[in-house]
Amino acid sequence: MSEKTVKMEVGATAEYSRTVTEDDIIAFAEISGDDNPVHLDEEYAAGTVFKGRIAHGILSLSFISTVLGTKLPGPGCIYLEQNSKFKKPVYPGDTVTAKVEVLEYDPKTGKASLATTCHNQDGALLIEGSARILFRQ
């Protein structure tokens, strides 16, 4: 699954993109136990501020974990902390691109601070935040 990993250094970036499908939303609801009708019931969701079903925010946020575990820095990465703001919803069929950028890295301790974002296919900001990880090269 993983492509070549990116060298861990300040300024390094990596991305992962995935189109969120109906099946993804249903599977995430089953795995997480979050069966909020805004995710699963079109009639209910149509009456909300979103005007239709949306994906779980944490589903999109998990794509940042995909970047960290497979690309930057890759296998061996330990997620220590994530702070996030959800800016816009993800609808079934949207393509989410998660991006990570290294802001600080101390090779002695293996700790790093990163900027984390998710955008949709139109470039709209969906999630913005920061993460701290542990990684020793």
CB distance 40 to 24 below 8 Å: no
Express each pLDDT in 42-68 by its tens digit: 999 999 999 999 999 999 999 999 999
- CATH 3.10.129.10, applies to 13-20+58-134: yes
Query: Comparing C-alpha atoms, which of 90, 70, 74, 76 is closest to residue 28?
Result: 90
Please give the DSSP secondary-structure letter assigned to residue 73. Answer: S
Domain range annotation of the chain: 13-20+58-134
Give the Cα separation of 81 and 134 in Å (integer). Answer: 10
Q: Which residues have a Cβ under 8 Å from the Cβ of 136 and sit 6 or more positions away?
A: 76, 107, 110
Cα distances from 92 to residues 102, 106, 120, in angstroms, run: 30, 39, 11
Q: What's the pLDDT band for 4 if we cut at 50, 70, 90?
A: confident
Is 0.85 surpassed by the pTM of this model?
yes
